[in-house]
Amino acid sequence: MTIDNRMAQVAAGDMATIKDNLMTAYKEAFPDGAEPQVYFAPGRVNLIGEHTDYNGGHVFPCALSIGTYAAVSKRADRRLRFYSLNFPKEGVLLSDLEECVPGKDTKWIAYPKGVIWAFAQRGLELDCGLDICIWGNIPNGSGLSSSASLEVLTGYFLRDLYGFELTNIDLALIGQYSENHYNGMNCGIMDQFASAMGKQDQAIFLDTADLSYEYAPVSLAHHKIVITNSKVKHKLVDSQYNVRRQQCEEAVALLSGRMQLKALGELSFLQLEANRDLFTDEILWKRAKHAVTENERTILAVEALKAGRLEEFGQLMNQSHISLRDDYEVSCEEIDVLVEEAWKVEGVLGSRITGGGFGGCTVSIVENGAVENFQKSVGEAYSRRLQREAEFYIVEIGNGPSKL
């Protein structure tokens, strides 16, 4: 089994090819369209800090060199035309600016239309429609934030084409708002922030309580970041994701009767444990325990990385997975098998589920010399135990959105 380099990275030399192919597809889909501009926004992987973003805690994601591309032009009328190279059988999807209504769209166009709607909620009305041709190399449903990538991409080209004065943090907030209120997914800010603010070879240590952040160099001269795709697609809106957020809010409500508290990220585990008696519901206790301990793990992990203590960073990744599996219960059998098998491979510093959960991918830190054996051992065990085939991507940490 080999790494699919087409998914693993987009090398600088490939950008021209991608742009040419996208321009060709655009002209075939919209033969009467104006000359387009081409844009890119990355996906993300979260190294540690899962389900802490909507709990006012810390996260530690990085942007990837894979993502979503768009060839876009303005129209003379108010129509919206969409075409995706990833879903060619759907053909050109038609809409208009008046049809950007929350909860009405069921296809992928709900994400760009949601951002257009969210711009309008800020008083940033589009004065004309668009022709949009999309292609992405983030595996769909993998937990690497294809939706956030598309949202940030849309915000980025809207800002450029219509001359809106917005920062990249504004674009992240708009993307999150659209996903929350247009698509009904109560996500935190992490995915959109990582895509909008990505920086090559740097991860983002973000405090989601106040959006303060710093870049931390990820120096892995002797190691690789390997993402393993379980091929189990997660559908977070239809899953228990929103339920987890509601459970955390219930935990905050419980604790607020005894202390001033807005979010679980404000607590240390010692403080939480001192109020254990409030939790008659064991499920709420487990959810709160994860949110609080994961926040502490993330802070410790960044300190370890800065100090060059990679083995400690890897151990904290492993602890993160155990908490997500046992306390937050957002893993699944396929992901657990991938992580268990990764832990057995010599040269693996750490491995854990990444993303919202209920499927998707794992992220592992693997010594350079162990990568080939990692793929072989984990891939064969996954096939033997579950009769499924995994995909492996060696990823590089890339920049945020750009105009090509």
What's 328's domain CATH number?
Answer: 3.30.70.890
CA gap 179, 245 in Å, rounded: 15
Two structure tokens written together for 292: 């609080």
Q: List per-residue pLDDT tens for the chain, 404 residues long.
A: 333 333 333 343 477 889 999 999 999 999 999 999 999 999 999 999 999 999 999 999 999 999 999 999 999 999 999 999 999 999 999 999 999 999 888 899 999 999 999 999 999 999 999 999 999 998 777 778 899 999 999 999 999 999 999 999 999 999 999 999 999 888 889 999 999 999 999 999 999 999 999 999 998 889 999 999 999 876 654 568 889 999 999 999 999 999 999 999 999 999 999 999 999 999 999 999 999 999 999 999 999 999 999 999 999 999 999 999 999 999 999 999 999 999 999 999 999 999 888 889 999 999 999 999 999 999 999 999 999 999 999 988 999 999 99
256 and 127 belong to one structural domain: no
| Residue 108: exposure state from Cβ atoms within 10 A (0-12, 13-18, ≥19) | buried
Residue 400 located in a structural domain: no
Task: Give DSSP secondary structure letters for 5-44.
Answer: HHHH---HHHHHHHHHHHHHHHHHH-TTPPPPEEEEEEEE
256 and 210 belong to one structural domain: no
What is the span of the domain harbouring residue 77? 5-217
What's 89's domain CATH number?
Answer: 3.30.230.10
CA gap 115, 178 in Å, rounded: 5
End position of a domain, from candidates 196, 217, 238 = 217
255 and 211 belong to one structural domain: no
- Are 213 and 206 contacting, i.e. CB atoms less than 8 angstroms apart? yes
162 and 193 belong to one structural domain: yes
pLDDT of residue 236: 54
Measure Cα distances from 146 to 14, 66, 136 in Å. Answer: 20, 10, 8
250 and 270 belong to one structural domain: yes
- Are 27 and 99 contacting, i.e. CB atoms less than 8 angstroms apart? no
pLDDT of residue 235: 61
pLDDT of residue 8: 35
Task: Give DSSP secondary structure letters for 86-114.
Answer: TSGGG--EEEEGGG--TT---STTHHHHH
Two structure tokens written together for 326: 């046992």
297 and 388 belong to one structural domain: yes
Residue 404 located in a structural domain: no
pLDDT of residue 142: 75
Residue 402 located in a structural domain: no
Domain count, the chain: 2
| Chain length of the chain | 404
The yes-or-no answer on residue 207 being catalytic is no
User: Using only C-alpha atoms, what is the Rg of the chain?
Assistant: 21
Residue 301 located in a structural domain: yes
Catalytic member of 53, 105, 191, 327: 191
Task: Please choose, from the candidates 120, 116, 118, the residue with its C-alpha nearest in 3D space to the C-alpha of residue 130.
Answer: 116
- Are 202 and 216 contacting, i.e. CB atoms less than 8 angstroms apart? yes
pLDDT of residue 234: 63
Dihedral over alpha carbons 207, 313, 147, 178 (to 10 degrees): -10
CA gap 323, 325 in Å, rounded: 5
> Residue type for 5, please?
N
End position of a domain, from candidates 202, 217, 232 = 217
> Which residue in the block uniquely carries the two structure tokens 């129509």?
79
Residue 283 located in a structural domain: yes
Which stretches of 177-309 are assigned E, i.e. beta strand? 202-207, 212-217, 223-229
CA gap 79, 130 in Å, rounded: 7
> Residue type for 121, please?
Q
Using DSSP's 3-state secondary structure scheme, residue 170 falls into helix
9 and 116 belong to one structural domain: yes
Could you tell me which residues come within 8 angstroms of residue 12 by beta carbon, excluding any fewer than 6 positions away? Answer: none
pLDDT of residue 110: 96
Task: Please choose, from the candidates 114, 128, 147, the residue with its C-alpha nearest in 3D space to the C-alpha of residue 42.
Answer: 147
Residue 179 located in a structural domain: yes
pLDDT of residue 135: 95
